[in-house]
A and B are shown apart, each in its own frame.
Chain A
Amino acid sequence: MSAVPALEVRDLSVEFRTRSGIVRALDNVGFAVGKGETAALVGESGSGKSVTAYAVMRILDPAGKITAGRAMFGGIDLLQQSEKDIAELRGRDLSMIFQSPRTALNPIRRVGAQLADVLVRHAGATSAGARTQAIEMLKKVRIPDPERRAMAYPFELSGGMCQRVMIALALACRPAVLIADEPTTGLDVTTQATIMDLITELAAETGMATILITHDLGLAAEYCQRIMVMHAGHVVEDAPTSALMQRALHPYSAKLIAATPAASAELDRLASIPGNLPDLRRADLPPCRYCARCERRTDACEQPLPRHVQPDGHAVACWNPL
């Protein structure tokens, strides 16, 4: 990791006001991603991966409130920027790729025009220049026959093609940070691999910091140098990929690794993690939100969470690490 990270999130807490009470979706989330680094946010559904990304991008639902924290990017705190200033950064310096690419694109606007909109907005392109640049971008994400495809509507393209368009959209202005939120969900396995290869290749080419959000630990291990494991709005472990895969310190991470299917494993040998995420609306959430599911639980777990960091940067938030 380089000295100044491309994006550094500190003590980020987010709450959602719902009819049935306040959901404490994120609690003191912190991590950093270096320039050119590819890091993964891994966790089960509802662990707060996407909320973290939305909070950093400042595109949270109006019901979501950032109650504490910082997100430092190029010397400024993204969470303190005015709506106007953050809109200036979004799509230019910070970009995001979403899951289900087909619904993530405007269904009644030609994909070339959607790309051109972003280029006109951020790259100061004229509408004619944006057209050629848009076709250039489509070529870059290896869409065959880009001139013709630029005139297509999303419904005329396959899911994989739509995701390539999404990538072109996100990378059009050469952002410094890319957040890819489950970019391969809903695509078939071969397309998944090409899409991931494309993202990592383009990231390496531009020296961009990439955050891959996924629930697939195998995918994260294959493409990322570092993995942050999230559980119920906490980052429970943050480690270089090899260190985590060889020796996970947090009980939850260990269970997750055990539950990752290998091609050789049989279905009945597949491990599962007992229990569910705690109800994040509870007022009396324990300091460790995993403790109800944990086999290593002791009285010490009632204390505020520690953060043990090893020399190789392997950090864990647990009183009784493995």
Chain B
Amino acid sequence: MLRFILKRLAAALPTVFGVLVVTFVMARALPGDPAAYFAGPAATREAIEQIRAKLGLDKSVPEQFGIYLRDLAQGEFGKSLSTGQSVGRELVTRLPASLELVLGALLLSMAIAIPLGVLAATRPGSWIDHTARVVTTAGVSLPAFFTGLVLIYVFYYLLGWAPAPMGRLDAFASAPPGLTGFYVIDALIAGEGETFISAVSQLILPIVALAIFTLAPLARMTRAAMLEVLASDFIRTARASGLPPSMVTYRYAFRNALLPVITTLGMVFSFLLGGAVLVEKVFAWPGIGAFAIEALIASDYAPIQGFVLTMALLYVALNLVIDVLYGVIDPRVGLEA
């Protein structure tokens, strides 16, 4: 197993390097001149050139790339031109904020979609099957940022149940100390009950908005996979052996149906990573998506590169986790190979 993981990580290295090259070149191909942007509209040509030299942008692209790689090797992601902040530090604080949203939404939609899909498959044509169909169709038809706005309107503006959509904590709470950067977890570890409640209540609406969107593909895939497995020969054998229906459904059918569901889970997770940007905007969430959009508008190279690299590493990790899960569930997938 360990060997399999190491091997897969080694195989991912060329991918990550490719991502580095492409983002580096693409960032420089973007329209806009960061030196001019940084110097401001009133700057003279000499001032701009001076800044360009100071930023190292007067060197050739391969030379700049070499410097970039050398800095990366030392764990240095560079500095943002527009904020002057270290990109590394920004990523470390913003990534947990985004992951808190994405993982929360994923857990919530799994908790609803998987039972819904199983029930719909075991009772085709029943009211629960029709409910599943309506919910999934509605889910994909509504973009998450729109659902987010509706949720804010109803639960904050009209009913006043939800806190103001102003980030990760309400104005009176301070960030809990801790290592993970996930406020919910850090507050629990630090034993700060009020901070925990504040963090959770801020999370609920954006998580629901994202979960409604991801519910649909998960529930559909669960239903389809279950229907296919339930029609297979070994389920007939299990039934002919008199095994109770609950055992046939869960121990025999569901475990086999899990493989395509996990694949979909991986896809949904990557949608969420990229798709949470607009939801972050709507809820003023200090996540990694909002950070990347701002950097993109300013042609701010270092944050763009840092963001894309982080995403690439996340995808590599995600795919590795999925492959390991595959091997754990299905003995036919050899983890030793």
Complex alpha-carbon distance, A126 and B331, angstroms = 26
| A219 contacts partner chain B, Cβ-Cβ < 8 Å | no
Complex alpha-carbon distance, A87 and B246, angstroms = 12
B236 A59 Cβ-Cβ under 8 A: yes
| B68 contacts partner chain A, Cβ-Cβ < 8 Å | no
B238 A106 Cβ-Cβ under 8 A: yes
| A98 contacts partner chain B, Cβ-Cβ < 8 Å | yes
Q: Which residues of A contact B237 (CB under 8 A)?
A: 96, 98, 104-106, 166, 169
CB distance from B13 to the nearest CB of A (A): 32
CB distance from A189 to the nearest CB of B (A): 23
Pick the contact of B242: A88, A107, A108 (CB < 8 A).
A88
| B240 contacts partner chain A, Cβ-Cβ < 8 Å | yes
B256 A106 Cβ-Cβ under 8 A: yes
CB distance from A86 to the nearest CB of B (A): 8
A108 B241 Cβ-Cβ under 8 A: no
| A90 contacts partner chain B, Cβ-Cβ < 8 Å | yes
CB distance from A9 to the nearest CB of B (A): 17
B236 A104 Cβ-Cβ under 8 A: yes
CB distance from A184 to the nearest CB of B (A): 16
Complex alpha-carbon distance, A105 and B256, angstroms = 12
Pick the contact of A107: B243, B247, B332 (CB < 8 A).
B332
Q: Which residue of B lies closest to A169 (CB)?
A: B241
CB distance from A125 to the nearest CB of B (A): 14
Pick the contact of B233: A100, A108, A155, A170 (CB < 8 A).
A100
A117 B256 Cβ-Cβ under 8 A: no
B240 A57 Cβ-Cβ under 8 A: yes
CB distance from A137 to the nearest CB of B (A): 13
| B244, B247, B331, most chain A CB atoms within 10 A | B331
Docked complex: A200-235 residues within 8 A CB-CB of B: none
Q: Which residue of A lies closest to B237 (CB)?
A: A104
Count class of interface residues, chain B = 20 to 34
CB distance from A209 to the nearest CB of B (A): 16
A103 B232 Cβ-Cβ under 8 A: yes
Docked complex: B286-307 residues within 8 A CB-CB of A: none
| A31 contacts partner chain B, Cβ-Cβ < 8 Å | no
Q: Which residue of B lies closest to A87 (CB)?
A: B242
Complex alpha-carbon distance, A65 and B81, angstroms = 74
Q: Which residues of A contact B330 (CB under 8 A)?
A: 107-108
| B252 contacts partner chain A, Cβ-Cβ < 8 Å | yes
Docked complex: A87-124 residues within 8 A CB-CB of B: 87-92, 95-96, 98, 100, 103-109, 117-118, 121-122
Q: Which residue of B lies closest to A115 (CB)?
A: B241
Task: Indicate whether A106 sits within 8 Å of B242 (C-beta atoms), given known contacts A117-B247, A153-B331, A153-B332.
Answer: no
CB distance from A122 to the nearest CB of B (A): 6
| B329 contacts partner chain A, Cβ-Cβ < 8 Å | yes
Complex alpha-carbon distance, A169 and B233, angstroms = 15
- Type the 1/0 row for B16-55, where 1 means its CB is closer than 8 Å to any CB of A: 0000000000000000000000000000000000000000
| B89 contacts partner chain A, Cβ-Cβ < 8 Å | no
Q: Which residues of B contact A100 (CB under 8 A)?
A: 233
Q: Which residues of A contact B240 (CB under 8 A)?
A: 57, 59, 90-91, 95-96, 98
Complex alpha-carbon distance, A59 and B233, angstroms = 12
Complex alpha-carbon distance, A57 and B236, angstroms = 11
Q: Which residues of B contact A107 (CB under 8 A)?
A: 234, 256, 330, 332
A118 B233 Cβ-Cβ under 8 A: no
Complex alpha-carbon distance, A108 and B234, angstroms = 11
Complex alpha-carbon distance, A117 and B240, angstroms = 13
Docked complex: B241-271 residues within 8 A CB-CB of A: 241-245, 247, 251-252, 255-256
Docked complex: A45-93 residues within 8 A CB-CB of B: 57, 59, 87-92
Q: Which residues of A contact B241 (CB under 8 A)?
A: 90-91, 95, 117-118, 121, 169-170
| B239 contacts partner chain A, Cβ-Cβ < 8 Å | yes
B243 A108 Cβ-Cβ under 8 A: no
Q: Which residues of A contact B332 (CB under 8 A)?
A: 107-108, 153, 155
Complex alpha-carbon distance, A90 and B239, angstroms = 8
CB distance from B122 to the nearest CB of A (A): 11
Complex alpha-carbon distance, A118 and B331, angstroms = 21
Docked complex: A140-182 residues within 8 A CB-CB of B: 153, 155, 166, 169-170
Q: Which residues of A contact B232 (CB under 8 A)?
A: 103
Q: Which residues of B contact A96 (CB under 8 A)?
A: 237, 240
CB distance from A79 to the nearest CB of B (A): 16
CB distance from A176 to the nearest CB of B (A): 14
A→B interface (CB under 8 Å):
57, 59, 87-92, 95-96, 98, 100, 103-109, 117-118, 121-122, 153, 155, 166, 169-170
What are 13 contact pairs spanning A and B, CB under 8 A? A87-B243, A89-B242, A91-B240, A98-B240, A104-B236, A104-B237, A105-B237, A106-B256, A107-B332, A108-B332, A118-B242, A153-B332, A169-B241
B→A interface (CB under 8 Å):
232-234, 236-245, 247, 251-252, 255-256, 329-332
Given contacts A57-B240, A90-B239, A108-B332, 13 further A-B contacts (CB under 8 A): A87-B245, A89-B242, A90-B241, A91-B242, A100-B233, A106-B256, A108-B329, A109-B251, A117-B243, A121-B243, A121-B247, A153-B331, A170-B241
6 nearest A-B residue pairs (beta carbon) = A91-B242, A90-B242, A91-B241, A103-B233, A96-B240, A106-B234
